[in-house]
Amino acid sequence: MKKQVMSLLLCGSLMAAAQQPVDYVNPFIGTSNYGTTNPGAICPQGMMSVTPFNVMGSESNRFDKDSQWWSTPYSSDNDFFTGFAHVNLSGVGCPELGSLLLMPTAGELNVDYKQYGSKYKDETAHPGYYSNVLTKYNIKAEATASMRTGLSRFTFPKGQGNILLNLGEGLTNETGATVRMVSDTEIEGSKLLGTFCYNPQAVFPIYFVMKVSKAPKQIGYWKKQREMKGVEAEWDIYSGKYKLYTKYNREMSGDDIGVWLTYDTEENEAIEVKMGVSFVSIENARLNMNTEQPDFNFDKVKAAASTMWNNDLSRVKVEGGSKDDKTIFYTALYHLLIHPNIIQDVNGEYPMMESLKVGHTTGNRYTVFSLWDTYRNVSTLMTLLFPERQLDIIRTMVDMYKESGWLPKWELYGRETLTMEGDPSIPYIVDAWMRGLRDFDVETAYEAMRKGATTPGEFNLLRPDNNDYMSKGYVPLREQYDNSVSHALEYYIADWNLSQFAKALGKKEDAKLFYDRSMGYKHYYSKEFGTLRPILPDGTFYSPFNPKQGENFEPNPGFHEGSAWNYTFYVPHDIPGLVKLMGGQKKFVDKLQMVFDEGHYDMANEPDIAYPYLFSYFKGEAWRTQKTVRELLSKYYHNAPNGLPGNDDTGTMSTWAVFSMMGFYPACPGDMDYVLTSPTFNKVIIDLNKKFYPKGELVIESMHQTPEDIYIKEVTAGGKKLKGYTISQEELVNAGTLKFILEDTHK
């Protein structure tokens, strides 16, 4: 009996030891509550993602692309599958991509998505893999991916099976596709995508090659016909409003077209479909496909994707905490590593910025730069955990300037979308440079930053209101909803970073110029309300003013997607100056605490994302940071589809959780100090790249008696006791061990 018990205990311990970081990831986190993540198959920072598309509905289904605005191909609140979309965005607030829809059906051929779509069950997702069972057809649909190619596997029942490639539908309204049959098993083509956040200039083509593992019984095209009044529609006999063409038509172009393949399938017969994509050419799409997937081997591709994810996620290993804690943490780290993603093909070619020309790189060229979001914390975490990739990201940004004349703002597949505000490349790059990543064209980077900061507004792609900003020190409210205060606050943090950069490069006059500009936020401070407040062109404050206006995304004069309370403390580069404006430390702390107590804090809004950490700058108040961070983690981050506070913003919300659960956070971009908080885990082991951080490893230990011990009693770095509640970049990466001693009450 004792041997049996020991055997069971040993088995249990071996199973626990076998649990790897990749096993904790739950790709369904963030697929509800407007998180806009998806559970599709993707590799770390891969170009290709294969994602279930369920936001187009049947005529009897309340979810319908034609009647509802979606910025994601998948929502866990929906259940009507219309295919796998190839190449998608994660955690964004505007619709884009979500195209090249691949759908299996059984029985009579039907090419109308409102009719061929199906509900599903038995949904499963792991990093690099997704599957479900389509209840309408009893087909198992699976997807996996390599860096540039997707692979689907459809397991059919006995009878007629169909595979449909829909080129007419997706998340956006762009139309225009061409498809050509190369053979009975291979198809090639292209489609136009773009206009992210309704910016008409941001349009680009995607090229694809698709190949099936089995030749079909029959293959052909369909094309949706426009309504023609008074004309007899003989084609209606084929498939509703869709005219079908057999394979003797070798090529098809149009607004709403597709390809169909039919099979006679045996019970549980599996047919695989692989697709390569490129943003350069069809030839490169085929090269990507043939290089990364020379044959059909679904399980091999799936295993390779899982291994890639586990290797990356293993840069951080955690011990202690609950299973849900580990799932939340590793899923957040997983979300960090989706964007930016590579755009170059296997031969190194990529579409140059704002150009029809093709560039070539020997490293990685990246795309999807949601910089207004990611400069706040993603940049710092990438610098710490993946400095080798961060350098390629920064080199990409500098090359974009060389190609287009401007640093990126919100770049998407070689096009500038001009989404959101500010000059966010500056703090993103400067933060990394200050932390030691310097192997890029620094002088050109500085030239690019200075151009954005000094060019007059009428010629300035990044700062269109730069004339007022340069002459007045602020941006006045000239139109009711022009986001003027939000614009200026972004310029202030950018110019403060540029000042630090200039100073480090020995450019003293520039350093003073940009530092002085960064202090212009003081113009906006209203003593009457104790907040920042819009200013009219004549220099007077805007009235009537309500500092609460703007909550829940209500339009608000001067502020973008938020209230004055969401922005008033967003002066991270000069907290002492803001304290003075507010009348001293006590009034500052009380007002900041009131933001949380009265519900003015918006966890999903970037400008106030670091608010909880500001308490720690003041003696005797750091406990508020520790308490508030734990409360926010508990309230907004869950092991469930609604487990993000809102739009993930290409990993920004997830990154907040990663830092907060490890016990430190970069509260001010460009400032080398992290603010400390109590870690969630007993131990965090960070594998540092020795080329950049010679120590090679950082171990964070948390000593406590109970889970309620969340207040910091003492912190030591490398055995040396820290005096306050911040730690510099140099101290952190050279500490070896960062040890927290926690207790259940604050002093």
Residues 84-125 pLDDT 10s: 999 999 999 998 999 999 999 999 999 999 999 999 999 999
Query: Which residue bears the tokens 């943003």?
Result: 279
Contacts of 12 by beta carbon, 8 Å cutoff, 6+ apart:
none
- Mean per-residue pLDDT for 256-281? 97
Residues 458-498 pLDDT 10s: 999 999 999 999 999 999 999 989 999 999 999 999 999 99
Residue extents of the structural domains in the chain: 23-311, 315-743
Determine the topology of domain 23-311 in CATH. Answer: Beta-galactosidase; Chain A, domain 5 (2.70.98)
- Mean per-residue pLDDT for 308-326? 98
Within the chain, what is the greatest distance between any pair of CA atoms? 88
DSSP code for 521: G
- Report the DSSP pairing between strands 697-703 and 737-743: parallel
Range scoring the smallest mean pLDDT among 194-198, 277-281, 323-327: 194-198
Kind plus residue range of the DSSP H or E element containing 580:
helix 575-582
315-743 to CATH, choices 3.40.50.300, 1.10.10.10, 3.30.2080.10, 3.30.70.360 = 3.30.2080.10
CB distance 358 to 350 below 8 Å = yes
pTM of the entire predicted model: 0.95
| Of 702, 732, 713, residue with least CA distance to 623 | 713
What pLDDT, on the 0 to 100 scale, is given for residue 68?
44
| Of 460, 655, 121, residue with least CA distance to 475 | 460
Q: CA-to-CA distance for 310 and 297, rounded, in angstroms?
A: 20
Share of the chain above pLDDT 70, in %: 93
CB distance 743 to 715 below 8 Å = no
Contacts of 169 by beta carbon, 8 Å cutoff, 6+ apart:
56, 65, 82, 99, 101, 113, 256
What pLDDT, on the 0 to 100 scale, is given for residue 231?
32
Q: CA-to-CA distance for 571 and 584, rounded, in angstroms?
A: 16
What pLDDT, on the 0 to 100 scale, is given for residue 558?
96
Residues 326-343 pLDDT 10s: 999 999 999 999 999 999
